[in-house]
Structure 1
Amino acid sequence: MLRKKNLYFLLLFVSSLFSSSLFADDISIEKLQERLTALEAKQETAALEADWVWTCIAAFLVFFMQAGFAYVEAGFTRAKNVVNILMKNFSDLTVGAFAFWLVGFSIMFGPQIFSGIGIGFPRIAEGLLNTESGDMDPGNYTFFMFQIVFAATAATIVSGAMAERTKFAAYLAFSVVITGLIYPMFGSLAWGGLFGKAGFLESLNIGAGADGEGANFLDFAGSTVVHSIGAWAGLAGAIVVGPRLGKFQSDGRVFPILGHNMSMAAIGVFILWFGWFGFNPGSTTSIKGGSFAQIAVVTHMAACAGAISAMALTWFLFQKPEIGLTLNGGLAGLVAITAPCDSVSITGAVCIGLVAGILVVVSVLFFDKIKIDDPVGAVSVHGVCGAWGTLSVGFFNLKSGLFYGGGLNQLFAQFTGVLLAFVWAFGISLVVFYLIKVTIGLRVSEEEEILGLDILEHGNEAYPVSK
């Protein structure tokens, strides 16, 4: 009873304070409103800055993926070419950053040259890094940091497809072209709407009815925009540079050239897998709603499924579970889930990963059959499985997918994007590689290839013999 009386008097005291000092005083009410407005502004600022922090952390994880690519590609190549492949991966990050900073970013996200197409006007070393007032904009810098490591990812895929026989200088030249032009041009069609007007693929509106709503191309984190663009460029390079000496025999047999270090390759896959938790969840660029957690889960499960199905298929085909293709199966699942990761269930992600693991094995065998030499399986992992992941949006998207009653419109939109990506990246890369071939030269000499690129191209060895 005493506690109830005390509570009653406390409430009476508080209400009297409000009635006498606040509600009776207009100035106090105004001050209270000002304080509430200031508090709301602080909350908005805190939320925005938290998003910046998350996006930067994700960018740093994607940056670390470069180490994963370096390890995977080095492990899958021979010891005499390890320094060369490490130099190429390192240069994709450094040289590519300058190309993307100078022109690539503004092409991808800047004011459009032609309205509705989505291609930005190249503004040298500026892009969208500054506001109209010329002041630093932390939000734009944050977004730029995230995008610059994506550009490096697209470029470094090419190095694996052309490993062990490509001139370092020639590769550097192409690295500049892909980060400064090829990747940003297609990215502007699919992602340019993040700033200003949407690009062509974002505005497809396939199957639009009376309500005006149709299906647009969807690629949340870049199965096609990043991975397939890099892979189709790598395919063009592999064709122009030709296969490694001794890979394909005159009688039609394929001579397996084994990688020198599967431990290194496995560690590289683990690093890539870890970095993918920045690649996919980080593409939210926001922590609001916690969708990044759901994206992380489906990303992980698709990778697991891809590794399992690839291992099972190699076990069936070769009577032994093959480690190289199993590792690539995990990467295939990661690449495939990158496009639909924001819009599929865990079950859908597992299905996407299972198909990707099978596809990567079949694709590697197919490219060997048609005598296209891809030492690390880059085209199969990033190109074929990137295309599959992008198409899978049309099947498994919870809102517009065919398996969820969405019809064929989304699938048609996805197919349009996949086809356009192939035509653009493969076509322009084919031209660029031929130009490099007839100018500075694309392939090392036969002597260099036999002795190894490390000593003759870089004057160093990954594993020098101590005497």
Structure 2
Amino acid sequence: MDQVIEIAYALDTFYFLISGALVMWMAAGFTMLESGLVRARNTTEILTKNVALYSIACIMYLFFGYQIMYGGSASSIIPGLGFGLSVENSVADVVNSGGDVYYSNTSDFFFQVVFVATAMSIISGAVAERMKLWSFLAFAVIMTGIIYPVQGYWSWGGGWLADLGYSDYAGSGIVHMAGAAAALAGVLVLGPRKGKYTEDGKVRAIPGANLPLATLGTFVLWLGWFGFNGGSELKVSDVESANAVALVFTNTNMAAAAGLVASMILSRAMFGKTDLTMILNGALAGLVAITAGPNVPSPALAVLIGAIGGVIVVFSIVFLDKLKIDDPVGAISVHGTCGIWGVLAVLLWSDGATIGGQLAGLLGIFVWVFVASLIVWLILKAVMGIRVTEDEEEQGLDIVECGMEAYPEFNGKQ
């Protein structure tokens, strides 16, 4: 019996680590998606931001973020600061638990750290093409070390949202809406790109430089999401858990497919053309929407949830443009608007979630992340500035910030 428990522990730890590796690969997906949707002259800077933010997130979450989320509590609102990354479980710990201890402590940290990096990646695309690189990286330090972990403690760490019964299986609100809230605050302080909106209020399309790369990035994110949602089951070593993981994978895939098809049909009806950028965001919208609860609904219901997400994202992108909220990649709509829908969609099935708990979660997470981020963005604006000059924006951030071009044969121009 002891050997069976040890083997289950090893299997669950390995599954957790592989799931985390898939989520880490989402960093590549965000990088490719964003670099495909910006203009050629800003590509190198986008690449630099994404590899740097991932590394910053890992360091900040190890020394600060994980300790805030899981290091104990001062109250249900204020997290403690204990060292959450504790000594590894011994064989005796595992065996004597009777199977209640079923994965390595370090594997839990690894799985959690790639989630916080995902939240930070959402911000990168929304503020693209006009934000100073080092201002963005300074914000990444605070976001991954403090802002994200505080609201993470409220829910996954056992704080007040957990007490209210807030249900968010893999983070439609905790990860995706949180990232979008921080992005929205940044975009409002930053302002739109030069030439995005005409003097008479019309929206000027600014096409990306590399749609094949953006499409590949979407497929990479789609693949990584199986780890994002599937790993959130936490184990796979018994029949019930294995069946749950299989359902999560299936529902995740079906929601993405439905989101893509729904956005494709809607964009054709609205614009008279099949807009590739909209349908890529439709797939991501479906993925975000199902993330709050992929472990319970039937695959048919997952199709409905994803399809609604695919419809919502198109309307959201158009609406934000009318408000002159310039988001080059549609990140706020994909992760914010559809994150809200995903959290509310949990109410479509009976798993103990309540409308009060879900609304409290949405409101608490959004208000905290938005207000805290807004304060940080404003401080950065006052201290070091967050936006490049108009001349630098016209020249392109590749040369201004990085001193090199991603596509030198085209002189970094479109």
Pairing 1:245–2:204 present:
no
Shift of 1:56: 0.2
Question: Is the contact between residue 240 and residue 434 of structure 1 (CA under 8 Å) also seen in structure 2?
Answer: yes
Counterpart position of 1:254: 203
Counterpart position of 1:297: 250
Question: Is the contact between residue 303 and residue 330 of structure 1 (CA under 8 Å) also seen in structure 2?
Answer: yes
Question: Is the contact between residue 345 and residue 398 of structure 1 (CA under 8 Å) also seen in structure 2?
Answer: no
Match of 1:188 among 135, 153, 168: 153
Pairing 1:236–2:195 present:
no
Counterpart position of 2:400: 456
Secondary structure of the 2:156 match is: helix
Q: 1:286 to 1:365 in 2, by over 3 A?
A: same
What is the alpha-carbon root mean square deviation over aligned residues? Answer: 1.8
Match of 1:86 among 23, 41, 47: 47
Question: What does 1:206-225 correspond to in 2, within 5 Å?
Answer: 216-225=165-174
Higher relative contact order (CA 8 A, sep 6+): 2
* Deviation string, structure 1 residues 130-166 (Cα, Å, up to 9, x no partner): 2699xx9971101000001111001110011100000
* Deviation string, structure 1 residues 362-389 (Cα, Å, up to 9, x no partner): 0000110000000000000000001100
For residue 340 of structure 1, what is the amino acid of its counterpart? G
Gaps in structure 1 of 5+ consecutive residues = 1-39, 193-197, 205-215, 401-408
Question: Is the contact between residue 139 and residue 377 of structure 2 (CA under 8 Å) also seen in structure 1?
Answer: yes
Match of 1:153 among 118, 128, 136: 118
Question: What does 1:375-386 correspond to in 2, within 5 Å?
Answer: 375-386=328-339
Question: What does 1:259-298 correspond to in 2, within 5 Å?
Answer: 259-287=208-236, 288=238, 289=240, 290=242, 291-298=244-251
Shift of 1:285: 1.4
Pairing 1:172–2:121 present:
no
- Give, in whole Å, the separation in 1 of the partners of 2:25 and 2:317: 26
The two structures have a TM-score, normalised by structure 2, of: 0.93
Shift of 1:120: 3.0
Question: Is the contact between residue 88 and residue 106 of structure 2 (CA under 8 Å) also seen in structure 1?
Answer: no
Shift of 1:321: 1.1
Counterpart position of 1:26: none
Gaps in structure 2 of 5+ consecutive residues = 95-102
The two structures have a TM-score, normalised by structure 1, of: 0.83
- Give, in whole Å, the separation in 1 of the partners of 2:159 and 2:80: 13
Pairing 1:200–2:157 present:
no
* Deviation string, structure 1 residues 403-426 (Cα, Å, up to 9, x no partner): xxxxxx612211111111111111
Number of matched pairs = 398
Question: Is the contact between residue 88 and residue 104 of structure 2 (CA under 8 Å) also seen in structure 1?
Answer: no
For residue 418 of structure 1, what is the amino acid of its counterpart? L
Question: Is the contact between residue 76 and residue 375 of structure 1 (CA under 8 Å) also seen in structure 2?
Answer: yes
- Give, in whole Å, the separation in 1 of the partners of 2:375 and 2:410: 44
Pairing 1:121–2:80 present:
yes
Q: Which has the larger radius of gyration?
A: 1
- Give, in whole Å, the separation in 2 of the partners of 1:131 and 1:351: 42
Question: Is the contact between residue 89 and residue 104 of structure 2 (CA under 8 Å) also seen in structure 1?
Answer: no
Pairing 1:50–2:14 present:
no
- Give, in whole Å, the separation in 2 of the partners of 1:169 and 1:286: 39
- Give, in whole Å, the separation in 2 of the partners of 1:415 and 1:310: 26
For residue 118 of structure 2, what is the amino acid of its counterpart? T
For residue 333 of structure 1, what is the amino acid of its counterpart? G
- Give, in whole Å, the separation in 2 of the partners of 1:73 and 1:466: 19
Question: Is the contact between residue 367 and residue 373 of structure 1 (CA under 8 Å) also seen in structure 2?
Answer: yes
Question: Is the contact between residue 118 and residue 175 of structure 2 (CA under 8 Å) also seen in structure 1?
Answer: yes
Secondary structure of the 1:465 match is: helix
* Deviation string, structure 1 residues 217-257 (Cα, Å, up to 9, x no partner): 10000001001100110010011011000001111111111
Q: 1:120 to 1:128 in 2, by over 3 A?
A: farther
Question: Is the contact between residue 225 and residue 287 of structure 2 (CA under 8 Å) also seen in structure 1?
Answer: yes
* Deviation string, structure 1 residues 164-184 (Cα, Å, up to 9, x no partner): 000001000011111101111
Shift of 1:128: 2.3
For residue 173 of structure 1, what is the amino acid of its counterpart? A
- Give, in whole Å, the separation in 2 of the partners of 1:345 and 1:182: 35
Counterpart position of 1:17: none
Shift of 1:127: 2.7
Shift of 1:187: 0.6
- Give, in whole Å, the separation in 2 of the partners of 1:127 and 1:413: 27
Pairing 1:309–2:255 present:
no
Counterpart position of 1:130: 87
Counterpart position of 1:415: 359
- Give, in whole Å, the separation in 1 of the partners of 2:218 and 2:292: 19
Secondary structure of the 1:352 match is: helix
* Deviation string, structure 1 residues 194-217 (Cα, Å, up to 9, x no partner): xxxx2111111xxxxxxxxxxx11
Match of 2:305 among 348, 352, 360: 352
For residue 464 of structure 1, what is the amino acid of its counterpart? P
- Give, in whole Å, the separation in 1 of the partners of 2:325 and 2:337: 14
- Give, in whole Å, the separation in 2 of the partners of 1:331 and 1:466: 31
For residue 203 of structure 1, what is the amino acid of its counterpart? D
Shift of 1:121: 2.0
- Give, in whole Å, the separation in 1 of the partners of 2:350 and 2:89: 40
Question: Is the contact between residue 73 and residue 81 of structure 2 (CA under 8 Å) also seen in structure 1?
Answer: no
Match of 1:438 among 374, 382, 403: 382
Q: Percent identity?
A: 44
Question: Is the contact between residue 129 and residue 144 of structure 1 (CA under 8 Å) also seen in structure 2?
Answer: no
- Give, in whole Å, the separation in 1 of the partners of 2:89 and 2:217: 42
Secondary structure of the 2:381 match is: helix
- Give, in whole Å, the separation in 2 of the partners of 1:178 and 1:331: 23
